Structure 1
């Protein structure tokens, strides 16, 4: 298996839609919010997918996942990360997060819905819960959701 991470290109749109739409169902199912599902085409502008950097993971030349967020000299925030469900547990999510962390200049923050199995994955990478909030679900504000803020902090030099 050859895994490469590269910047998003417009030709990746159909692939990231397919990946998001399948993986988002898993995310919402775990949080008990399946009825809140909206596809990527309906939410990407409102949620600012392309406001920051977007990277895709290719496995053997096929787009298998993507990550988006802001990075800077003082850290970063992961705002989107999805892996093709048929490719779960093959190191793609880990490679995307590690790529993002390497690009950040410090701590990295993300939010995960309560009940989302990905929380254990992030914690296995060293992310720690720093807050829990309940409010409107990003992308479909007619629903209320509980989310956890997780932060990865680099080891001291």
Structure 2
């Protein structure tokens, strides 16, 4: 297996992976009607500017291109995840991540500070805050 940096030419393949897997995930959670194709959910003015990845229990990834940050896109992606996830809903935030302020503003609460190895790259030590959303 090869892991590499995302390239714009990967977008259609990303859609092909995301859409059926997302449909499967939502069907298992009785949320089939909540499906939005990745091509629609990830674009602003027909340009891909960010994405959110989550399951019923955890927000795993939320990224917005730096030039589109502070325009409400991250907030909308979090709202979408919150609307379609179960309760309680968790996330881990690396210490120093400026997005933590956004998560707090959206109703997440810090419940625990953890210290350990970075999953998938254990040669790095990380400090993270475990956050929880219950509303």
TM-score scaled by length of structure 1: 0.60
Offset at residue 10 of structure 1 (A): 5.4
Say which of 10, 28, 47 aligns to 1:62. Answer: 47
Give 4+ residue runs of structure 1 displaced > 2 Å after superposition: 52-57
The one-character-per-residue Cα deviations of 1:30-73 (angstroms, maximum 9, x if unpaired) are xxxxxxxxxxxxxxxxxxxxxx68954210111110111212xx
Structure 1 unaligned residues grouped into runs of 5+:
1-8, 14-51
Partner of 2:119: 138
Rg (Cα) greater in structure: 2
| Contact 1:65 1:83 survives alignment (8 Å) | yes
Matches within 5 A, 1:55-134: 56-71=41-56, 76-134=57-115
CA distance in 2, matches of 1:87, 1:12: 23
Contact 1:69–1:78 (8 Å) recurs in 2: yes
Shift of 1:149: 0.5
Return the TM-score normalized by structure 2.
Answer: 0.70
Secondary structure of 2:132's aligned partner: strand
Q: Over the residues paired in the alignment, what is the CA RMSD in angstroms? A: 2.4
Higher relative contact order (CA 8 A, sep 6+): 1
